[in-house]
Chain A
Amino acid sequence: MHVFSTLFAGLLFGTGLILSGMANPAKVQNFLDLFGTWDPSLAFVMGGAIMVTMPGFWLVQKRKTPLFHDVFHLPTRTDFDARLVVGAATFGIGWGLGGFCPGPALTSLPLAASGTLFFVPAMLVGMVIAKYIAAPLPKTLAV
């Protein structure tokens, strides 16, 4: 059951991305193109999602624990650091350039557009590079 719920969540997420048009990078870029071929759809996607998550999260968190796990893994940080801002700014530039963010890019992978086949491996490499930079140095290397 817990395996099914995870598979279902992934399928639901991907289907939502396709139905909403967000698996189409042109639609994302048109949302960002305020002075050109503007398409406001993306705002409706975020609105539709938040309309469900806001009350949904509130209800779920009335429980002491999740259904198949012993604790909620929720982010607890409230501080602002340079990493957050620089990371988000970098992410936005890449998102604008390709019209892809991680969810839609992975959902698009089976459609095998050549651009997607360039984007996804590069994205994974970018993640690994960031993890290496962000990870504390192993003790044996510390001077």
Chain B
Amino acid sequence: METEFTPFASLLGGGLIGLSAVVLLAAHGRIAGISGIVSRILPPSIDKAGLPQGIIFLIGLLLAAPLWFVLTGAAPVQMVSSNGLLLVIAGLLVGFGAVMGNGCTSGHGVCGISRGSARSIAATMTFMATAFVTVIVLRHVVGG
């Protein structure tokens, strides 16, 4: 299934993500890594001091799609696979890998690279490489 190449919307949307990260650092001195924000408020070691801010950030994140619907009159376009087993496996790997690797696309890919962190650059190159291979195998070897 093809998707339309959207350079301007993507550049602008990326800019908003960047602005969010700058706001979070300026206001609270925190890195806008979504996996970090979520995992810190999960057991076994819940960060009680960071709990309220983490939950408020997530509420903001969850309000974005409803607000988008109210302002534009249309739900954001998305095509999500309805293969439940595939998405459970994907979710487990993403959650597990993000915590093990101390970050995800936002923490390593955007914030870490901007800070010139060698760990983040290595992590981003690693997850990009395995993701490229996974999609190629999924679509062109297994069949898509």
Q: Chain A: residues with CB nearer than 8 A to chain B? A: 2-3, 5-27, 29-30, 32-37, 39-42, 44-54, 56-57, 60-61, 63, 65-69, 71-75, 77-80, 83-103, 105-111, 113-116, 118-135
Contacts and interface: CB of A to CB of B under 8 A. Distances in A.
B126 A6 contact: no
A91 B10 CA distance: 23
B10 A42 contact: yes
Q: DSSP class of A's interface residues: helix, strand, loop or mixed?
A: helix
Interface residues of B, number: 112
Contacts of A101: 34, 94, 98, 104-106
Interface of B: 1-7, 9-32, 34-35, 38-39, 42-45, 53, 56-68, 75-84, 86-102, 104-106, 108-115, 117-119, 122-124, 126-136, 138-140, 144
Given A24-B76, A96-B132, A100-B94, A115 B83 contact: yes
9 contacts: A8-B23, A35-B140, A93-B134, A94-B96, A95-B90, A111-B65, A127-B95, A127-B98, A133-B100
Contacts of B122: 80, 84-85, 88
B35 to A, nearest CB: 5
Given A100-B87, A100-B94, A103-B106, 5 more contacts: A63-B26, A88-B130, A96-B133, A101-B34, A105-B94
A134 B40 CA distance: 13
The 4 tightest CB contacts between A and B, nearest first, are A10-B60, A14-B64, A20-B13, A48-B14
B98 to A, nearest CB: 5
B19 A24 contact: no
Contacts of A111: 65, 75-76, 78
B126 A92 contact: yes
A88 B104 CA distance: 8
Given A10-B58, A88-B108, A131 B89 contact: no
Contacts of A13: 16-17, 20-21, 32, 34, 57, 60-61, 64, 106
Contacts of B7: 40-41, 44
Nearest to A6: B56
